[in-house]
Copies of this chain bind each other. A is one copy, B any other.
Amino acid sequence: MDSLERTFQLHVPSSTENLSMIRDFVGSIGERAGFSKGEVVKLEVAVDEACANVIEHAYGSDTTREVTVKATIDSDAVEIRVVDTGLGFDPTTIGEAALDSLIQQRKNGGLGMRLIKTLMDEVHYEIVPGQKNELAMTKRRKKE
């Protein structure tokens, strides 16, 4: 029944207002893939973080650009690709600060990428600055 690969795509304007639509979309994908409630929420959070980063950092909070979320369900996994045409960045230069030091510095952020890496099984960036930046994230389906 699930041998066939199924692909889905959502395009929304780059406003944080649309993060809820992105979560609903990704949540439905997770349900289709048979993920438990807890796993569905993890998928939603990871994609929410990725898209919030695109809106804030790649597009500098310009709400008139486009965020694309592509989802593929196959027999092994759900793959989500978040695509933007904004600034881009070099993910290898981003350090991981510990929570206690972020708190001491009164930071209100710096946890998004760690959350994505923890919640998903595979994560990688393909960056072509100003042209197309893609964050591919995979979450495996459990075999039971």
| Bound CA–CA A123/B4 (angstroms) | 35
The A17-63 residues at the B interface (CB cut-off 8 A) are 17-18, 20-21, 24-25, 28, 32
Chain A contact residues: over half helix, strand or loop, or mixed?
mixed
Smallest CB separation, A77 vs chain B (Å): 17
Among the listed stretches A6-14, A91-99, A114-122, which one makes contact with chain B, having 4 or more residues with CB under 8 Å of it? A6-14
Q: Is the CB of B9 within 8 A of A21?
A: no
Q: Is the CB of A21 within 8 A of B4?
A: no
Given known A-B contacts A20-B28, A21-B28, A25-B21, A6 and B13 have beta carbons under 8 A apart: yes
| Bound CA–CA A142/B103 (angstroms) | 47
Interface residues of A (CB under 8 A from B): 4, 6-13, 17-18, 20-21, 24-25, 28, 32, 64
